[in-house]
Amino acid sequence: MTARERILAAFHDAVARADLPGRVARALGEDGPFVVIAAGKAATSMLAGVRDFSRALVVIPRGSAAPNDPRVTVPDESSVRAAEAALALAASDAPEERLFLISGGASSLLCAPAPGLGLDRKREVVDTLLRAELPISDVNVVRRHLSRVKGGGLARACGARPRRTLIVSDVLGDAPEGVGSGPSVADPTTIEDAARVAAGVGCADLPFVETWKHRERAELVATPRDFAETMAAALVERGFEARAFADAGRDVAELARRYAEIVTEMKPGDARVRAAEPVLRVPPSAGRGGR
């Protein structure tokens, strides 16, 4: 087996070991039944770990395989309708505890603009933020304060009903409010924080709303660091001298220079793994896709 084949085998093994259904099942134990709202790229895998639920709303990216279960509703491709459906289910009279399963991508899949903010204007603001040289954490501060669903909006909709959140994190630092813009957890940032970020990129007079501040029951079941360490272990098992670096969120040019230095220090059979989210500037003609 070539080195490339061993690396690919290690990657597929690390993905299998991530075992999101198993992690969710272990976190829940014998608890239930639940009314489930799952949103993000890992929503279907996370739902597979829930043993006892009466109803579920699953919001997933276009083209993803939907669960084949009569208890599960999958909204159409409109993130606005999906957000309204999620808010309605959270606030419904169903007696079961609400279980929120949140993973990366939930932010774009659930869109409920704040009162007084049109969808087109919100898109303009987010586009401006994404084209600025800002860390994604700053972008999300503004997003949370321009939404009825982000920044704890789903938790607010529950009222006094019991609820909990399980999270698969795709952000460095693993702040719960950073994953999917935190639709079901407390947000430590304020309107003043959001206004400061927005003003820095020329966005003013926005109808910010304060986010949810009450502490919520939430647990991270998987993180980028988890996966980096699992990948390093899988590489070691295939004969590599592998180790995981600390997470990094620095400028992409700075990271590239550092990686070039690291390569000169490595020998055949060495492997290095890192969870990273480089910061880069989006050019005026950026083409399709994200940054």
Alpha-carbon separation of residue 252 from 133, 139, 282, 286 (angstroms): 11, 17, 12, 16
Domain assignment present for 231? no
pLDDT over 60 (residue 102): yes
Q: What percent of the chain has pLDDT over 90?
A: 76
153-179: average pLDDT: 94
pLDDT over 60 (residue 172): yes
Integer Cα distance of 243 and 231 in angstroms: 9
DSSP 118: -
Among residues 4, 42, 3, which one has the least CA distance to residue 220? 42
Domain that holds residue 162: 3-225
Q: What per-residue confidence (pLDDT) applies to 289? A: 60
Q: What per-residue confidence (pLDDT) applies to 198? A: 95
Question: Tens digit of pLDDT for each residue in 51-83?
Answer: 999 999 999 998 888 898 999 999 877 899 999
What value does the mean pLDDT of the chain take? 92
Name the 3-class secondary structure at 4.
helix
Q: What is the CB-side half-sphere exposure of residue 255 using CA atoms within 13 A?
A: 15
Tokens representing residue 32 in the block: 């239930």
Domain assignment present for 258? no
pLDDT over 80 (residue 263): yes
Q: What per-residue confidence (pLDDT) applies to 192? A: 97
Q: Residue 105: how many CB atoms within 10 A of its CB?
A: 20
The mean-pLDDT minimum among 26-30, 54-58, 157-161, 172-176 falls in 172-176
pLDDT over 80 (residue 282): no
Q: What per-residue confidence (pLDDT) applies to 199? A: 94
pLDDT over 80 (residue 285): no
Q: What per-residue confidence (pLDDT) applies to 287? A: 66
pLDDT over 60 (residue 178): yes
Domain assignment present for 154? yes
37-57: average pLDDT: 97
Question: Tens digit of pLDDT for each residue in 213-259?
Answer: 999 999 999 999 999 999 999 999 999 999 998 877 778 889 899 99
Please tell me the total count of domains within the chain. 1
Domain assignment present for 27? yes
More confidently predicted of 154 and 131: 154
pLDDT over 80 (residue 110): yes
Q: What per-residue confidence (pLDDT) applies to 132? A: 83
pLDDT over 70 (residue 48): yes
Domain assignment present for 277? no
Within 8 A by CB and 6+ apart from 85, the residues are 57, 73, 75
Among residues 282, 279, 290, 291, which one has the least CA distance to residue 250? 279
pLDDT confidence of 291, banded at 50, 70, 90? very low
Domain assignment present for 230? no
pTM of this prediction?
0.90
pLDDT over 70 (residue 117): yes
Domain assignment present for 69? yes
Tokens representing residue 125 in the block: 């603001």
Integer Cα distance of 88 and 53 in angstroms: 17
Domain assignment present for 84? yes
Q: What's 202's domain CATH number?
A: 3.40.50.10180
Q: Please classify residue 164 by burial: count the beta carbons closer than 10 Å to its beta carbon, then call 0-12 exposed, 13-18 middle and 19+ buried.
A: middle
Q: How large is the angle between the packed helices 191-200 and 119-131, nearest 10 degrees?
A: 70
Confirm if 148 and 157 have CB atoms less than 8 A apart.
no
Among residues 124, 87, 83, 84, which one has the least CA distance to residue 107? 83
